[in-house]
Each structure stands twice: as C-alpha cells, then as structure tokens.
Amino acid sequence: MDRIKSGVEGLDGMIEGGFVKNSSVLIGGGCGSGKSTFAMQFIYNGALAGEPGVYVSFEEEPEQIRTNMAGMGWDIEKLEKEKKIQILQVQPEDVMHIVKQEYGLISDAIQDLGAKRVVIDSVTSIEMLIQHEYERRQSILKLLKWLRKVDCTGILIAESEQDPIHYSRYGILEFVVDGVIVLYNIRRGKSRVRALEVLKMRGTNHHTNLVPYIIEQGITLKPTQPIFGALGGE
C-alpha cells in the first residue's frame, strides 16, 4: 500500500511507515492532549515534503491557530503565502450548509491548492448539530466518502473524555474510519503524562502499546520510556 508520512516523530515506525494513502484517521483525546498540534504537524510537515494541505477549523480563528503553532517553531504564514497550506475557517452557523452542499467550499480549497492532506477540526461540531442518530451516521459516512473522492488523506479531530468509553462524541466515527489514534493526558499523583495509542489502523500491522510523548516543537513519541516511571509521588 502507498503510505503517507504522519509527520509525527516516532509514529511511522508504529504503523508500517505511515498512514495508508487516502485513508481517514480519527484523532481522539481530551483537553490538553495535543489533538490540534498533532493535526497541524501532519499538515505542516506534509507541506514541507511537497504535499500541500488544507486545515479546516469549525471553531478556532485562523490567526489564533497561527499564533499557537508559532510556539512550536512553525512558520505557518510563510507556507500559506507559498500556497502550500490553507487554513479555512467555517463559521458555526455555516457548518450544516457546508455539509448539505457536500463540502463544496472545502473541495474548492483542496482543488485550488492541489492538496493531498486535509484536517477537519473538529468533526464533533458536525455531530452536535445533527439530532437524529440515523442522519448523524449518514452524514459521517458522506464525509468519509467525500474524503476519498477528493483524493486526500484525512485527519478528523474528535473530542473525548480523558479515559474514554467512546472515542468520538456519539461512538460512531471510530467504527467507520480507517484508523483511530487516541491521545491521553493522564493524571498520576501530582503530575500528568501524555501517551498515544494506535487503537485501529486498517491494512496495517500496528503497535498496540501506549507510548509516552512530549509536546515541544510538535509531538515527539518516546517509545523507550516508561509511561509513569519519571513521575512524582502520589
């Protein structure tokens, strides 16, 4: 299978070299786990490697995203000017219009940029606006079908609990996407540690153990370190 590098240091070795091309991967996690950082790292490093990307935000302002990611040492604005990255904000009141129009606005951005990567931040915003379970499931399936149609590898961000039973708000997405990566921000005594789990990755013989990571200049996995070994006492 053709593989797309994740851009996250240490991850590709866990998933046979990267994400399957044109697959859809859910990134789930609670507050402070680094979901948006993971997603922009995927877009940013892809752009540097010659694979332009579109980052779609349903909640955060583009300028705030640029400012947050500048703290990682990433010059997002420079890559935007070079037509390698586009941050596309969709206002909350326009989300359902975009869905009903089969993501035409986002498709146009992908086509204009020649994008090979796309992030939806967050798909929880779509789920919350659909009241009926059947319609919600059909909308999610339509989203995944659209992703395949536009010839992009997609990251879908979903908000979940720190120790989740479901990895998306209604427990649907994790069953229909191609891959699920869970980011944990675990409290241990007086400290917290972050850990990543590859819960699912179709067509891939992936690692199943939890791996600690740090967030400095992006996310870096530390597969040789114990998760709780360096933490303070209870």
User: What pLDDT does 169 receive?
Assistant: 62
Spatial separation of the C-alpha atoms in residues 221 and 7, rounded to whole Å: 11
3-state secondary structure of 164: coil
First to last CA, the chain: 46
Cis upstream peptide for 122 (omega within 30°): yes
The domains found in the chain, sorted by start residue, are 3-221 (3.40.50.300)
User: What pLDDT does 72 receive?
Assistant: 95
- Tokens of residue 87, six digits: 């941050």
Tens digits of residue pLDDT in 196-226:
999 999 999 999 999 999 999 999 999 888 7
Instruction: Report the amino acid identity of residue 222.
Output: K
Q: Position of tokens 């219009």?
A: 97
User: What pLDDT does 234 receive?
Assistant: 36
Query: Which DSSP symbol is given to 55?
Result: E
Decide: 13 and 98 in contact? Cβ < 8 Å. Answer: no
Spatial separation of the C-alpha atoms in residues 207 and 67, rounded to whole Å: 34
Decide: 116 and 43 in contact? Cβ < 8 Å. Answer: no
Instruction: Provide the whole-model pTM.
Output: 0.90
CA dihedral 12→13→16→17, nearest 10 degrees, is 40
Instruction: Report the amino acid identity of residue 78.
Output: K
| Regions in the chain scoring below 50 on pLDDT | 230-234
Give burial (CB, 10 Å; 0-12/13-18/19+) of 224: exposed
User: What pLDDT does 178 receive?
Assistant: 96
Instruction: Report the amino acid identity of residue 59.
Output: E
Query: Which DSSP symbol is given to 171?
Result: S
- Tokens of residue 44, six digits: 């940013």
In order, the DSSP letters of 149-175 are HTT-EEEEEEE--SS-SSSSTTS-HHH
